[in-house]
Structure 1
């Protein structure tokens, strides 16, 4: 039973690795950039997530600096569904403002 579950686990990991290696072919283009010729505030998010899956954490930050506050926010919201946290609303608001602030600062710096 243990050997069978390990065999399934290895196959799942291998298929996940193959999936994330080939995912670059299926990335969506930025329609704002195609229509207007300028980046949108979300440009770089897909590539940043791809870098995270590949383990290139510094490259993920360079591609889209708001990726880490966004991950922290989503993780906190997910854990907040299962755990009772005393100041959950305050922490959520701080994380949202931080994430939006990093997105806007990054977007403004693209034009400089």
Structure 2
């Protein structure tokens, strides 16, 4: 696995920490574990699949769908990061 530069330099997880491990769990068929490792993994996967399909097939309002998926994915990423940092902070103090 590639090391997280943010965690290496500052000792704090970034918003993407866990993505590689969650993707590996997905490829192994451990779907629940992948979600617990990184909750946004399924939205990211759906977004990538949608973007790839949209390269060849144009949908009505595809721009709005892309923006909505990006905002939803970013919101889940930020929310899960805040929850993780909250729990980490309270476990160490």
TM-score (norm 1): 0.75
Matches of 1:105 and 1:37, distance apart in 2: 20
Matches of 1:108 and 1:35, distance apart in 2: 20
Unaligned runs of 5+ in 1: 1-26
Q: Give 1 or 2 for the bigger CA radius of gyration.
A: 1
Match of 1:38 in 2: 12
> Root-mean-square deviation (CA), in Å?
0.7
Report how far residue 87 of structure 1 moved: 1.1
Matches of 2:83 and 2:71, distance apart in 1: 18
Out of 5, 24, 39, which is 1:50 matched to?
A: 24
Moved over 3 A (4+): none
1:89 to 2:89 alignment:
no
Match of 2:78 in 1: 104
Equivalent pairs counted in the alignment come to: 86
Unaligned runs of 5+ in 2: 87-93
Match of 1:73 in 2: 47
SS across alignment from 1:42: coil
TM-score (norm 2): 0.89
Larger RCO (CA within 8 A; separation ≥ 6)? 2
Matches of 1:48 and 1:34, distance apart in 2: 20
Matches of 1:101 and 1:29, distance apart in 2: 24
